[in-house]
Structure 1
Amino acid sequence: MSSDDHTKPPADPALRIKAIETLMVEKGKIEPGAISELVEIFQNKLGPRIGAKVVAKAWLDSGFKARLLADGTEALKEVGVSGLQGEDMVILENTTSIHNVIVCTLCSCYPWTVLGLPPTWYKSAPYRSRIVIEPRKVLAEFGTAISQDREVRVYDSNAEIRYMVLPMRPEGTDDWSEEQLVALVTRDSMIGTGLPLTPDQTVKVEATA
């Protein structure tokens, strides 16, 4: 990070948010850095882990999976998840013939109750426009190559409907527990721009931890 990152004022509305945060710190209402820490936890730990548990449960429980695909809103209530703004949740299953990916072309509607805060790129204009026009190329830029014999479907979220992708279960995990499966599910695999980790990739991550 350059020194300019600390001196250049952020763009509105980020400027207003920063002003409120600064005022709360000055008045002793919050500790410096507390908001950033909470955002980090919700974006990269708590939020995506909720969705990962939903995916792992669906991989293990065929009944739950059927209910999830039939009515995502109601099925998610079984695991204590509901849309705080009243939006419906639709779960999109990836298969050997179909790969799903989600976007919000008009703004940045996002299933944050199951995935946490949206990544910056999800809200960017290039992603919102290009994923609709050239999805395979954009996915390839994420490192996700989809074979030509699989259809790529792009779903556009809005104020009434949020989408979440149910990725395919990795091979070699037949005897894995739910907690082990949770570790394979990435945030991007539930957006559709990525894939779950493979068992080999998990071993490598643990070895370098």
Structure 2
Amino acid sequence: MPHDHDPLEEGPALRVRALEALMVDKGLVDPDTLDSIAEYYERETGPRNGAAVVARAWTDPAYKDWLLRDGTAAINAMGFSGFQGEHIRVLENTKAMHHVVVCTLCSCYPWPVLGLPPTWYKSPAYRSRVVREPRVVLAEFGLRLPKDVQVKVWDSTAEIRYLVLPRRPAGTDDRSAEELAGLVTRNGMIGTALV
């Protein structure tokens, strides 16, 4: 007979919870501090920030030009800054060019606009394979690009992180920036999906 279970009680998540409980019990970590850190990353950073940046670029040509010239300053002007967001370069996808981002050394990632990196972004398989066979990896994400579209892989480092500016979907000229932001996904801003 099948039974319901909490997937958070399995594997690494269970170990994290046990470690957290141990650290709290020993007085090494204040649970309120942990909660505030988690809340910050849930509410103050994350893909919705990046989606707002993308939507503004789609609706404001002057902002888009600035974003492509100086991503860090343009993103900071929207109030999105902080650790792992000190130097962000924005890469524009076009009909002829598709950008995808990886960090081959660890998991450098623009936290202020994308939040914490997904598990797959940190995996050795993604980090090594997307460089060698980007079209194969993108196809595994469900993204099959025409052969005439060039794929360029960008390697984030401790000095610079990248954000992909996806192509604006056709037929969205009448949509507001807020509506457009709702179309933008984290994977679209990494380059492993289209909007």
TM-score, normalized by length of structure 2? Answer: 0.84
AA aligned to 2:194 is: L
Q: 2:31 matched to which residue of 1?
A: 30
Q: How does 1:2-81 map to 2 (within 5 A)?
A: 6=9, 10=12, 18-24=18-24, 29-30=30-31, 38=39, 41=42, 46-81=45-80
Task: List alignment gaps of at least 5 residues for structure 2.
Answer: none
CA distance, structure 2, for counterparts of residue 7 and residue 143 of structure 1: 28
Shift of the alpha carbon at 1:76?
1.2
Aligned 8 A contact 2:83 2:111 in 1 = no
**Greater relative contact order (Cα < 8 A, sep 6+):** 2
* CA contact 1:94–1:165 (8 Å) conserved in 2: yes
CA drift of 1:195 comes to 1.1
The amino acid that maps onto 1:133 is R
Write the letter of the residue equivalent to 2:69: A
- Aligned AA (2:23): L
Name the counterpart of 2:180: 181
Alpha-carbon separation, structure 2, partners of 1:73 and 1:112:
12
1:69 Cα offset (Å): 0.2
Gaps of 5+ in 1: 197-209
Instruction: Give yes or no for contact 2:45–2:115 (8 Å, CA) kept in 1.
Output: yes
Instruction: State the TM-score, normalized to the length of structure 1.
Output: 0.79
Asked if 2 retains the 8 angstrom alpha-carbon contact of 1:87 and 1:159, the reply is: no
Distance 1:175 1:134, change over 3 A: same
- 1:147-178 Cα distance to aligned partner (Å, 9 max, x none): 10100000000000000000000011001001
Measured against aligned partners, the alpha-carbon deviations of 1:166-206 in whole angstroms (never above 9, x if no partner) come to: 0000011001001100100000000000111xxxxxxxxxx
Letter in 1 for 2:123: S
Q: Offset at 1:57?
A: 0.1
Query: Does the CA-based 8 Å contact 1:100-1:153 persist in structure 2?
Result: yes
Change (3 A) 1:34 1:22: farther
